[in-house]
Amino acid sequence: MIDKLEDMLEFTLNDVVIAAAAIIQERGWHFVYNPNGTKSCDYVMAAPYNHKDPQTFTGCLVGAIAKRLGCTLPTTLWGISVDTMPDKYFPLTPDARKYLTYVQAYQDVGHTWGYSADAAWELINGRFVEPQSPPHFPTVRVKDR
């Protein structure tokens, strides 16, 4: 994937959905990065490790996806939403950026990574997501495209 960064090609929706699925499978569908729902996150782990605080042993899901795709995000990006992140850090197609914006919004208010990815998938496909709807992750649907 490094060639994409050097050539400034953009990561597609398919790229980020597949990366999200792999990360969620590794970490667990029910992993909650932001249990307090503070509406903010770090793309890169910046705090000293604390086994009781998930934010100290991983960056947020968007940061984890960027890392998996070969991007290196500086810790100075804290407080910048993925929808306004400069392409020089994480070049994305418009639909990939929109998907990650939805992922970020759900994660940052305290939802699990699995639910965040699923709700983003539903929204990107034009379906309304009820806050209490039963979650299902789109791993299988990625293969259908």
Q: pLDDT truncated to tens, each residue of the chain (145 aa)? A: 445 555 558 999 999 999 999 999 998 898 888 777 766 777 776 666 566 665 566 778 999 999 899 998 887 777 788 988 999 999 999 999 999 999 998 888 888 999 999 999 999 988 866 554 434 433 333 333 3
User: What is the reported pLDDT for 76?
Assistant: 76
Q: Are 26 and 99 in contact (CB under 8 A)?
A: no
* Distance in angstroms (rounded) separating the CA atoms of residues 112 and 83: 20
Instruction: Report pTM.
Output: 0.78
Which residue in the block uniquely carries the two structure tokens 């597609």? 12
The residues with which 92 forms a beta bridge, in sequence order, are 11
User: What is the reported pLDDT for 143?
Assistant: 34
User: What is the reported pLDDT for 74?
Assistant: 83
* Distance in angstroms (rounded) separating the CA atoms of residues 14 and 12: 5
**Which amino acid does the sequence have at 102?**
Y
The residues with which 100 forms a beta bridge, in sequence order, are none
User: What is the reported pLDDT for 100?
Assistant: 96
